[in-house]
Amino acid sequence: MKLFKKKTPPAQAPEIVSAGRYHALSTRLPPAVEPFEKELYDRLRYAVPVIDAALMKIIRLTGGFRVICSDERYQEELDSFMENVPVGIAGRSIGFFTDNFLDSILTYGSAAAEIVHDENNERIAGICLGDISRIRMTAGKDPFTRGYTVVSEDGSEKPVKHPERILYSSLAGGHSLLRGLPSLSSILLRIYECIGQNYDRAGNVRYAVTYRPPAGSGDAVYSRERARQIAEEWADGMNSARYGQVKDFVAVGDVDIKVIGADNQLFDTNVPVRQLLEQIVAKLSIPPFLLGLSWSSTERMSSQQADILTSELEYYRRLLSPVICDVGNSFLASEGYEAVCRVEWENINLQDESVLAQARLTNARAAEIEARLGI
């Protein structure tokens, strides 16, 4: 009988250098989501509605899921927990958690949450969504463990006591999906601001009434009085139109009426605005017509667009699946069950039902012919 067991040595550090991407210019973003960067992306979604709409479309199109337990005896309890787990102050259910978790991943590039335990009942009390701008991830004792620190308002950092309770996920590279859009969005907002200013100047129709008294009539002496009378009558005629009454303007002499700004046409902004929106849509990987942008004569989603969007949604699902499994496995472990769980996602249906039915029919016919020929 051995009195001292041989300790398992910790994992060795990798000999290769970790790959990282950086930009040599001064415009590069910091590796972590700083408070000012978080505010930048929040204001970007607030200022450009098409960006906020695209992110919400991605979250909704990601679809629903069901958590399957490896032991069917605990499936009912697992379903009840997933449907009623508290999330923050106002949320409930694992679906509410994944929507907000994915929203943080898309907006800030990463997301963090904590599984809160009830020490008295030794059960999971709920899930708390964290502010990713105040969370720093650090390396652990070996290359495959990590720790977390929380930055307080005064700038001091405090390590997290239970890093195993932290749920963390990020996009490839850890950068926000909105990275690169602030510069384009600033130009787009500048164009919209100029459009509003031009309509303030020329869009609201204003008139210039000029009275020229006849030569030798002697009215030049009373030009100020005549101008005041014309102004009063013109204002009365314009104001009466508000109440549905039409009054004609009658004057004696040479009276010239022109519209101020009628000769200056407004700039056509369709081309620059579309070019900027194309860049934004390309970055977000959303078909334009889903955002109300009619750039094509066809209204149906092509199979190529559907395949590209499906691959994007599958990528986001791969980011969420481990996090969901961590929540389910933590619940099973807290209950003392020796079981694990997996995530079963709903099918992504972006095509017409008639097209899918035709595809199934064609596949069935091909399978029948192959079986008949013994292929």
| Per-10-residue mean pLDDT, the chain, length 375 | 49 43 39 66 89 92 91 92 89 92 92 86 84 82 80 82 88 85 87 81 72 68 76 78 73 73 69 88 84 68 73 91 93 90 85 68 88 81
Q: Which long-range contacts (CB under 8 A, 24 or more apart) does 115-123 make?
A: 115/165, 115/166, 115/167, 115/326, 115/327, 115/330, 116/165, 117/165, 117/334, 122/334, 123/334, 123/335
pLDDT value at position 24? 41
**CA dihedral defined by 230, 231, 234, 240, rounded to 10 degrees?**
-130
Residues above pLDDT 70, as percent of the chain: 80
Task: Tell me the CA distances in angstroms from 166 to 75, 90, 253, 296, 339, one per residue in order.
Answer: 24, 20, 85, 45, 21
The whole-angstrom separation of Cα 319 and Cα 353 is: 28
Residue 213 is classified by DSSP as P
Is-contact 132 124, C-beta < 8 A?
A: no
pLDDT tens-digit readout, 255-284: 777 776 656 666 778 888 888 888 998 888
Q: Is 139 exposed, middle or buried (0-12, 13-18, 19+ CB in 10 A)?
A: exposed
Nearest Cα neighbor of 176 from 300, 40, 3 is: 40
The whole-angstrom separation of Cα 287 and Cα 301 is: 8
pLDDT tens-digit readout, 136-173: 887 777 777 788 888 887 878 888 888 888 899 998 87
Instruction: Locate all alpha helices (DSSP H) within the chain, ordered by sequence.
Output: 35-47, 49-61, 75-84, 94-108, 181-198, 223-240, 270-284, 303-334, 353-373
Per-domain residue ranges of the chain: 35-179+293-371, 206-260
The whole-angstrom separation of Cα 120 and Cα 170 is: 33
pLDDT value at position 54? 92
